[in-house]
A = this chain, B = another copy of it.
Amino acid sequence: MLFFSSKPGDFAYFTQALKEHMKDWENLRQALIEFRNDRDWEQFHNPKDLALALSIEASELNELFLWKKAEEANPEKIKEELADVFAYAILLAEKYDLDINEIVLNKIKKNAEKYPVDKAKGTAKKYTDL
């Protein structure tokens, strides 16, 4: 039985799984905080400016699509700008000690109520207009 086998490979499997797990949010959060602290930047990172920085990065992402069709945007540059968006979003979540998985899943639940399938299917209308 897989989980209780004593073959060395299983051990590797689990540590890999745990390490992979660590590579997610928590790992990114730690890397971002280390980067910030190395530069003594926490003094600038109040939530208002972090939110502003996030918005500015989102805008730089949008600039890649300006005057263009969606498919004409440069994917390499999108990667860079989207990474910046995630970086500030994670730093902001950290300021409020938020669990990213939890807040996103909760929001999906709320949106599922605002946009019930039978009313929202196939339309881009705002919930206030459904």
Contact = CB atoms under 8 A, between A and B. Distances in A.
Copies of this chain, whole number = 4
Most B C-beta atoms less than 10 A away, residue of A15, A55, A68, A110: A55
Interface string A1-12: 001111000110
Contact of A35 (B10, B89, B112): B112
A39 B130 CA distance: 13
Contacts of A38: 117, 121
Interface of A: 3-6, 10-11, 14-15, 17-18, 20-21, 23-25, 27-28, 31-32, 35, 38-41, 43-44, 46-49, 51-56, 58-71, 73, 75, 78-80, 82-87, 89-90, 92-93, 96, 98, 100-101, 103-108, 110-112, 115, 117, 120-122, 124
